[in-house]
Structure 1
Amino acid sequence: MNLKKLSIPIQTKLMPTFYREFACIMGRCQENCCDCGWNIWFSKKDYLKIKRAPKSPAVEERVKKAMRRLPEQTRTTEQYAEFVTREGKCPLHNEDGLCELQLECGRETLPLVCRTFPRKEVLTPMAKEYSLSTACEAVVEQLWNLPDGIEFLEEPLEREQWRYVEPTSYNRFFPILRSTCIDILQNRRYSIPERLVLLGVVLDHLQKTEPGYVHPESWEQQVQRLLDGPSMDLPFDSQVSQISLQNYLDTVKRSLGHVPYFQQLIFLLTANITLSKKDANTVRVDSKSYYTYLKKQFEDAFGDISYFWENLLVNTWFYLSSPDLTAADALWKSYVNLCQIYSFFRHTAVLGCGTEPTREKLFHAIVMASREMLHNSKRQSALRDHFFEHDSATLAHMAILVQD
């Protein structure tokens, strides 16, 4: 039996239209990925390529000091060597924020991780997908400059890259489900929290339906009727805001208390906060009141930037290859994960911008939030699973979480 005939053929590539426009902003970056404390591991192939590349004596000396093989007992073909960072900084980085190895030997000499970040390639039941991580400031800047939203480009895949995926019921359903989810996130008839709740309503109903009973076309029509129906009216009060804020504080304390950037944000809310009045008297406020104050500063500075939050959501959903259909409970987990990441982005942005919000502070906050969340799957899973362990992963809980 020819199994390929039963499998789902992947013959196209899919990417946001801004993917090919990406360019590193190098020294203009506030939190350069070469100097942020990440381990820079690479394969044996990359190690030998760097070692054998013709170099000037000065760069050769820098490479000798910078590059080393991993201990033999932990070394693998794909994780073979590393650059020895000094205080979190790559030793090949010069004072202008540029890579000496790339300047002299060219981009192709760099390890794969350095050549590709923040790009990501992954095979899904829809296509071979190319995405960009918001852990890079240049990507965040691109999203800021897309007020009309993200569009996607689909092209034929080179024949030698054709692949096949397992023909499960959900895999066959993935393309239409993926597109519909993005349509919901981009539906500007609704506010961002309303879109997330609508997405939850759709996915909650779907997860309770046996795969064999899902008919893609009729399901898509049902979703469209829901979107065309009466607008939603989500309740919002101070208690909801407090619960969402408290979840953020708990998240940071539990998982990110060791990261200096987030230590400073928590200090803002847990220290003995004061606000000075014109008459020199001092008014003490609690964490919630201070966050409300900072949020007002944020909104006054930026106005309505719903399009930016929309772009962040769509980009994150696409980057994570969501929705996850690999297991019976994976669909809802991927939704809870999106809600927690959105809430994390929002609170980090407000706190990171402080009392004098600027676009630069906002970009920096999103980059830091992305590096600590999007690029740490174990942390994502642990924080997401915390909701399930405490019976807080319901649609009602998510509706609270996404309002701040």
Structure 2
Amino acid sequence: MDVAIIGIGLHRFGRSPGLSGMQQGASAVRNALADAGLSWKDMQFAYGGSQDAGNADALVNELGLTGLQFTNIWNGCATGGSSLHAAYSAIKSGEYDVGVVVGFDKHPRGAFNPKPADWGIDEWYGETGMMLTTQFFALKTQRYMHDHGITEESLIRVSEKAFTNGSLTPTAWRQQALSYEEIANSAMISDPLRKYMFCSPAEGGAALIICNADKAHLYSSKPLYLKTAAVRTRHYGSFEVFAPSQAMNVADASTVTASKAAFEQAGIGPEDIDVMQLQDTDSGTEIIHMAENGFCEHGEQEKLLREGATGINGSMPINTDGGCLANGEPVGASGLRQVYEVCVQLRGEGGARQVPNNPKVGYTHVYGAPGLSGVNIITK
């Protein structure tokens, strides 16, 4: 049984001081329902998550007490991908025909700095500063650059592309394009990552209406198809964030195994993807994920970025809405924002940021600490 996406909704990311995170999530659901031409009472189930803005199931207080099954999902930055996987599985099982996936959040300003004990790590790891997000992403990037010959030029080009794309995206938080020089001369935060190479914790909401594809024609004249949703955790020896030690033999990252599973389940390969969203909590992370998702070999990113391959008009458009760098990251919503953007592109509704040549296959990838990845493949 195939799964269709028949409605998409977003509450713009950034800062909304007059609204709670939950209200932003409810706004996204209402927008998705309107897009699908359905009402809340038509929903048979819901899956959703939030890190800092309350229990997602409390959205029923905003949307209506209809008695539907609502399951909270929490998987770090992979919450959106995990919520969609759960909903995808619910449809595939045949138990439900139509439901909603939603994510929202409202984070305070400043870098995330979680408690080691919450992640099964001894206190010394936090005392060294490694639980601070800017630190552990920087060290992971530093090691990757050393191992694969990546220079600072590539980090700058990723950020330059992100802010250019954000300037073309009405719902993006950061809508000011930045020059190569502005990024290169910005303050160093955690070597090798500078001020404009990190995303910011943010606010916002995103929602999808999905259904049994056999019944999509009853709801929508423009359904898209979720060919697969895969979520995988880390193996022993994979080099992930929040890793207090490293095995002698390095294993594939969770992103590699999630990506391979998704391509196998969808029956296609990386060469078939027309537009993609890759997790970019920082510019180094996007570079790493280009290879881990199978779109290039390790070390090839430098050449691809210099040639503009990842731009909107390039051969492998990545993060056409500016990604996390330009949109910020409300953790519960971020993975669903990726799917929202791919759907916009496949519908041909991207406006100034629209990928040319009628894209037909899209790909999303989200990565969360301590080493969890979710991949979705969407087609016309």
Superposition TM-score tier, normalisation by shorter sequence: 0.3 to 0.5
TM-score (norm 2): 0.33
Larger Rg: 1
Q: Which has the higher strand share?
A: 2
Higher RCO (CA-CA < 8 Å; seq separation 6+):
2
TM-score (norm 1): 0.31
